[in-house]
Amino acid sequence: MEEAQSKVLYSAVQPSGNLTIGNYVGAIRNWVALQGQFTCFYAIADLHAITVRQVPAELRRHTLELAALYIACGVDPARCTLYVQSNVPAHAELAWVLNTMTYVGEMERMTQFKDKAAKHAENVNMGLMAYPVLMAADILLYQTDVVPVGIDQRQHLEIARDIAVRFNNRYGETFRLPEGYIVKEGAKIASLQDPLHKMSKSDENPNASVYLSDDRDTVIRKFRRAVTDSDNAIVASEQKPGVTNLLNIYAAFRGCTVAEAEKEFAGKGYGDFKLAVGETVADVLAPIQAEQKRLLADKAYLSDILSRGAQAAAHTARRTLLKVYRKVGFYRGE
């Protein structure tokens, strides 16, 4: 346990609108458990958010809402470093240096760049292309050992490692090489309307995603409309992606295994099953929503937490940045 506690873990989420139950199960809920095992840096990634056009006032509001949500879900600022990415200038500063170590062809091959460029054809900016370099800077600044990653983030972690190796080979040992931390259970929650694809906060179909801000009636209504199939058996299988997705969600929020969920609903119809899933999810979300609302009523408290978090993060990040500046030959007046 002592060895695990000495390791550094980094993770971040963008404040770009409503988070889904997939974000909760796949990321934020795991942060709560991991903060007891690692030295954790948890960021609100607003620098990443502006690669897509944002309404400034909404971005500021979403940033504070996300901070309150983190804490409402159980992230403890006393046990981790919680901060806003843009409040630590070293992120952008290191990203510039790492840009000079990164090749255009590498960025053009990134899957998420291709996807986002297709979705935002009117705004294919350099920030969108260099997104993985900033992510590499986020990770490498804190000499991170482990990064919780989903399937869609593995490519970004790999490029971060490639950049670190390239820098270390050129300038000498500087960055620690981060490893991926794969959360197996509940790592992927699919769309309620298209269970072959991941649930997304940007899905155009309002019934496809369940948001952490959805009220009880909305949650239950969305689950009632969830796609299943013509076979009424409530079992998990590749041939039943809709039912399997609902079983995964139920198990994740009920705290049981999929096999246990299958036994619980054996012989029952889809109507009862969907209602039970919806009610279970709503029961978990209700206290989180209430606590988030309470925290948002005290903006001074949230601002103080984020300010102290930024100071702590900046202290650690600065040590790495100064080492990088010295290695590349920047004159510091020393």
Active site residues: 116, 198, 201
CB 143, CB 179: distance < 8 Å: no
Q: Residue length, the chain?
A: 334
Residue 148, classed as helix, strand or coil, is strand
Q: Letter for the amino acid at 75?
A: V
- Residue (of 241, 247, 281, 278) closest to 264 by Cα position: 247
CB 142, CB 178: distance < 8 Å: no
Angstrom distance (rounded) from CA 277 to CA 254: 9
Two structure tokens written together for 238: 């590749």
Angstrom distance (rounded) from CA 280 to CA 76: 25
Burial class of residue 55, CB neighbours in 10 A (0-12, 13-18, 19+): exposed
User: What is the phi/psi pair of residue 121, to 5°?
Assistant: -60, -25
Burial class of residue 101, CB neighbours in 10 A (0-12, 13-18, 19+): middle
Angstrom distance (rounded) from CA 200 to CA 208: 8
CB 201, CB 168: distance < 8 Å: no
